[in-house]
Structure 1
Amino acid sequence: MTMRFTLVVGLLAGALAVAMTVALGVGAVQVPPAEVWGIVGHRLGLPWPAEVSWTRARETIIFDVRAPRVLLGAVCGAGLAAVGTAMQALVRNPLADPYLLGVSSGASFGAVTMIVLGTTLFGTRGSLPLAAFAGALAAMVLVFAAARAGGGVSSLRLVLAGVGVASVFAALTSFLLLTAERGNEAREVLSWTLGGLGGVGWDTLWLPLAVLVAASVFLMTQARNLNLLLAGEEAAATMGLAVGAFRVRMFVLLSLVTGVLVSAAGPIGFVGLMAPHAVRVLVGGDHRRVMPAAILGGAIFLVLADVAARTISAPQEIPVGVLTALCGGPFFLWLMRRGSRRAEGGAAL
């Protein structure tokens, strides 16, 4: 690891700590940063601070209300960034993202189907991630089947197939909600489909956090294989990579991660698109550096986006998925324009 990469990771980690401190302190009740970490340290049993100088109400607000939400934002942002980074390498497409390729829409459809039908084979907490995973995997299979139909998988085919599959799953989800018998519950689920971190508790965090840690460790061990894929399938096979089997394993893993994150926070788009591109400017294209940097960058972005969602029109809260889409839409168009210019330049040569 170079000194530059170490410095970048250190700065990103520090920025994440600052973003989480801001997120914990901002709200209807403003809490100073020193008091925020004093409360956190006190609840974790650390030897500092020596004296308790805050009220019990503030401690409840910080540790029991805001902390789970902030941590879920960091976990979801990191997980979506990791998935997006891996997807862009697997399909050799800079526009790949779980939201744009319809995987998040498939996960939402699976989760909403379980909620509306009331099917809970393993209890609600166990069945919801499984249903979202099944929907995400089905969407990914459909996207690649549609993109391969009639020829190879090109960037344009992949994006168009993703848009089509996402539209179908979004329509099916809307149909389920409109025909649901329980009106109040349907409205709550409809709000959830816009992406949001509200209403989370400590008991909701363990599964997304465990999946993020396990998936991040595995993906970082696969950084060399992801680098090989960027050189092309033939070159990767020459270097000893079983491309087909590797892609199948990775697609299943990425569908699982996406399903778990969507079941916890709803479909939050464009984080997996923007974070990898942003950090490549700082650390280059090697996935041994891109993956950890993107994980930190995605966590920072979603934590700050949630702060904005809570404060822009307070006391009304904007779904964080709306804000990420407002940022990601122009970014997506810029990437497409840049890709078109490069293609035109190559053709001119």
Structure 2
Amino acid sequence: MHPPIRPPRQRALLIIAVLMAGAIASLLFAGMTGSIRVPLAELPDALRQLADGRAESLPASLLELRAGRALTAFVTGGALALAGVMMQALLRNPLADPYVLGISSGAAVGALAALMLMCAAVVVDGAALLGAVAVSMLLYLLARRDLRGGLAAEGGASMLLLTGVILSALCGALVTLMLSIAPEGRLRSMVFWLIGDLAGAPLRLTPWLVLGGALVYAMRSARAMNVVALHAGAASTLGVRVGALRKGLFFVSGLLTASAVTSAGSVGFVGLIIPHACRFAFGPDHRILIPAAVLAGGSFLVLCDTLARTVLAPQQLPVGAITALIGAPVFLYQLHRLRK
């Protein structure tokens, strides 16, 4: 058996450069688009003012106001896409996504409980993070034996997945109970959080640090993930520390999911369709797939959020509804191409 073929360096650099340019273009488009548009001719001067630390003109002020939401959308989309790549590698299941293990459901329980009690936004974020961490720890305690085993043991991956599904169902029941007893004045914000909403999401440094650290870990583990994908049964004999890899993928993908859900609620389909789209377009090599998924996922969510706040302006739609409306047909098309 031969090791994975190394992709040409020029091809890899070209892919990353094109996706990087697309990410910058999506952020600029989000800054220019809204109820009041920023003309393209005035964009260079507005960017120059922002670079100098002043926003004297109206276009510069609009860009400054929209930049925080666009950057939050980008880091959330990148985190979900990277978590999807890692979750699919962990479970060796192409249908796995960041929410499959119930971590987002735990965050939903914490966030909705705080919303129902009319807590401040910072308390809602903290409760969501606490719920996600609690479910992650519980899942690890219940499935730690499977995480120590080899990735070739399909039964171990199945048990981990089944445990996550059961925990997700339990959290879903708690969410339904809270929605049924919540005051009517709180229902709208609770439903928007469940669907996924970036309105009012603050720009924070922590999600960027989480994404950066996870990206470093994923790139360092990319070769091992390639070996496991191609030679699952003999990965340990080829020098891969399978147990350590599984635990690392579990914890890092869980941390990414918790960070993304805390920032934007349960935004669906990003962690499912973006890894598949990048895999179809660029191949299965994780050394290219990982950075490509982060850039494509961030750009995709930025564009979806731009649609969510402009298509029925001044009314804003939950971004999770937009990602689902776009993601479902795209995923069906990918399945059709896969069958052919």
After TM superposition, the score normalised by the length of structure 2 is 0.82
Structure-2 residue corresponding to 1:31? 38
Residue equivalent to 2:311: 312
Deviations 1:315-334 (A, max 9, x none): 22221101111222334445
- Correspondence for 1:236: 235
Give the aligned length: 326
Deviations 1:127-177 (A, max 9, x none): 54233333355468779999x9xx82578x887776665444233213223
Q: In the alignment, what sits opposite 1:179?
A: 181
2: CA distance, partners of 1:322 / 1:142: 33
Deviations 1:285-340 (A, max 9, x none): 1101110111111111111111111222222222110111122233444556667x
Aligned-residue offset at 1:27: 0.7
Aligned-pair CA distance for 1:61: 3.0
CA shift in 2, pair 1:306/1:294, >3 Å: same
- Displacement of 1:211 in angstroms is 0.8
Q: Paired residue for 2:3?
A: none
Match of 1:152 among 132, 147, 155: 155
What is the CA-CA distance between 1:62 and the residue it aligns to?
A: 2.1
Partner residue in 1 for 2:270: 271
Q: Which runs of 5+ in 2 are unaligned?
A: 1-7
Structure 1 residue 34 displacement after superposition: 4.7
Q: Is the 8 A contact 2:110 2:127 kept in 1?
A: no
Identity among equivalent positions (%) equals: 38
Which deviates further from its counterpart, 237-246 or 268-277?
A: 237-246
Structure 1 segment 158-197 matched on structure 2, within 5 A: 165-180=167-182, 183-197=184-198
Distance 1:127 1:34 in 2: 44
Give SS of 1:107's match: helix
The answer as to whether partners of 1:35 and 1:54 remain within 8 angstroms in 2 is: no
What CA RMSD, in Å, does the superposition of the two structures yield over aligned residues? 3.4
Contact 2:105 2:132 in 1 (8 A): no
Q: Compared with structure 1, are the counterparts of its residues 199 and 97 closer, same or farther at alpha carbon in structure 2 (3 Å cutoff)?
A: same
**Alpha-carbon distance, 1:71 to partner:** 0.2
* Shift in Å, 1:206: 1.2
Structure 1 counterpart of 2:17: 10
- Taking the aligned partners of 1:312 and 1:141, their CA distance within structure 2 comes to 45
Deviates more, 1:243-252 or 1:263-272: 243-252
Given the superposition, is the C-alpha separation of residues 177 and 78 from structure 1 closer, same or farther in structure 2, using an over 3 Å criterion?
Answer: same
Give the 3 Å change call, closer, same or farther, for CA 243–145 of structure 1 in structure 2: closer
Matches within 5 A, 1:183-262: 183-202=184-203, 205-262=204-261
Give ranges in structure 1 of 5+ residues lacking alignment: 343-349
The residue matched to 1:152 in structure 2 has which SS? helix
Match of 1:54 among 47, 54, 57: 57
**In 2, Cα distance between equivalents of 1:125 and 1:166:** 19
For the structure 1 residues 36 and 211, does the alpha-carbon distance in structure 2 shift closer, same or farther, using more than 3 Å as the test? farther
Query: Which residue is equivalent to 1:89?
Result: 89
| TM-score, structure 1 as length reference | 0.80
Cα separation, 1, equivalents of 2:144 and 2:179: 27
Aligned 8 A contact 1:22 1:33 in 2: no
CA distance, structure 2, for counterparts of residue 302 and residue 87 of structure 1? 19
Partners of 2:196 and 2:266 within 8 A in 1: yes
Change (3 A) 1:307 1:28: same
Cα deviation for residue 68 of structure 1 reads: 0.7
1:105 offset after TM fit, Å?
Answer: 2.5
Tell me, yes or no, if the aligned pair for 1:226 and 1:287 is still in contact at 8 Å. Answer: yes
